[in-house]
Amino acid sequence: MRLALAEAGRAGEAGDVPVGAVVLDAGGQVAGAGHNERELAADPTAHAEVVALRRAAARLGTWRLEGCTLVVTLEPCTMCAGAAVLARVDRVVYGAVDPKAGAVGSLWDVVRDRRLNHRPEVIAEVLAAECGALLTEFFTRRRVG
């Protein structure tokens, strides 16, 4: 999660919502990392998770990320939860809960939907306070500035 937090910091420095993600391979090595790049890329799909999943797939040479773990500082939205399912990651680990848009148990539960053909393990609220504080600070600065 500390690596994902470092990625989140990069997003915040670039003026984007500070969310970071890493994909670890089956051996625990970083296969891909990313942070929100929506503002930088003018791309609504450039969420941290999607960026990290794309980089991991490119590095590993396959879209099937079986054996991999997606670690992200904020509970994934529906798009990112769906991408994790479709990428076949073994587990999703996230920090802060997102009651407004979370799709890994908060608002929706895409990753545990029995109608889908793959359901990754979920480990929630890892370093949640630290992950949440980064977001709170970012939005507080935005409102004041």
> Which residues define the annotated binding site?
47, 77, 80
Residue numbers in the known binding site for Zn(2+) are: 47, 77, 80
Q: Are 79 and 110 in contact (CB under 8 A)?
A: no
Q: What b-and-e string marks burial along 108-128, b requiring 16 or more CB atoms within 10 Å of the CB?
A: eebbeeeeeeeebebebebbb
Amino acid at 108: W
Count of C-beta atoms within a 10 Å radius of residue 61: 6
Query: Is 121 one of the annotated active-site residues of the chain?
Result: no
Q: Please, which residues bridge with residue 94 across strands?
A: 72
Q: Which of 49, 66, 121, 137 is catalytic?
A: 49
What residues act catalytically? Answer: 49
